[in-house]
Amino acid sequence: MAIKYNKCPRCGSLNVIKIIYGMQTHDAFLMTEEGKIKLGSCCITDSEPEYYCKDCENEWGRQISIDKAYNEIIRIKTSVGGYFGGYFEVDIDYENRKLKWSHLCAGAEDYYEKTIRQNTLYKFIDELKMLNLLDWKSKYIEPDVCDGTQWSLEIIKSGRNIKKYGDNKFPDEWDDFCRLIRNVSGNVFS
Ligand SMILES: [Zn+2]
């Protein structure tokens, strides 16, 4: 699931139009009259809102949609590994700031749990935004390899889970994601 910019972050409405800047043409005027677009006022800066909600008159830009989507996450579970080296799993529960790390190999489990600091968690969430976690595809499969590395990611939001996985194929940000998980867990994850 990618981020839905055209959903109102305040009321959840999809009755949303784009705000267009610097377009004073006749067509733009007609589209405005029909309520298809909203014309923004003159100055264009990075913080100008891009979307307008016709239900509650809220205006917002993409960064607000991104922040809202990442703030809805309450827990992240991820695993990586293969048949021979076993699987590493990390489960980060935002609400009580508990991190569980485990390694499962040939029936034996190595396991620990720790509490992470609020600041560490905020930094972690910021890093996930940089890694475009929510924009990853739901599966990455390399069909011609039968063993090798499998990974999974579960993003838990209130009321909804998003699952992504891969088999010998990875998102571009995968290595940086593993590095981040190693940093926050203080243990092996690769
Ligand atoms: Zn709204």
Distance in Å, CA 120 to ligand 1 centroid: 32
Distance in Å, CA 10 to ligand 1 centroid: 5
Beta-bridged to residue 124, according to DSSP, are none
CB neighbours (10 Å) of residue 114?
A: 13
pLDDT of residue 46: 61
Distance in Å, CA 11 to ligand 1 centroid: 4
Whether 44 shows a pLDDT value over 70: the answer reads no
Distance in Å, CA 128 to ligand 1 centroid: 26
Q: Report the distance separating Cα 36 and Cα 52, nearest Å.
A: 11
Residue 129's pLDDT band, with cuts at 50, 70 and 90, is very high
pLDDT of residue 43: 63
Distance in Å, CA 36 to ligand 1 centroid: 16
Q: Which helix (H) or strand (E) holds 79?
A: strand 73-82
Distance in Å, CA 122 to ligand 1 centroid: 27
Q: Report the distance separating Cα 153 and Cα 134, nearest Å.
A: 11
- More confident call, 72 vs 145: 72
Q: What is the value of pTM for the model shown?
A: 0.84
Distance in Å, CA 165 to ligand 1 centroid: 33
Nearest partner of 128 among 93, 79, 76, judged by Cα: 76
Q: Report the distance separating Cα 78 and Cα 165, nearest Å.
A: 9
Distance in Å, CA 61 to ligand 1 centroid: 13
Torsion (CA) 24, 54, 58, 126 in degrees, nearest 10? -90
CB neighbours (10 Å) of residue 24?
A: 8
Residue 42's pLDDT band, with cuts at 50, 70 and 90, is low
Distance in Å, CA 19 to ligand 1 centroid: 14
What residue ranges define each of the domains in the chain, with the CATH number in brackets?
16-69 (no CATH), 74-185 (3.30.1560.10)
Phi, psi of 2 (to 5 degrees): -90, 170
Q: Report the distance separating Cα 101 and Cα 157, nearest Å.
A: 20
Q: Record the tokens describing residue 109, joined without a space.
A: 């489990």
pLDDT of residue 146: 72
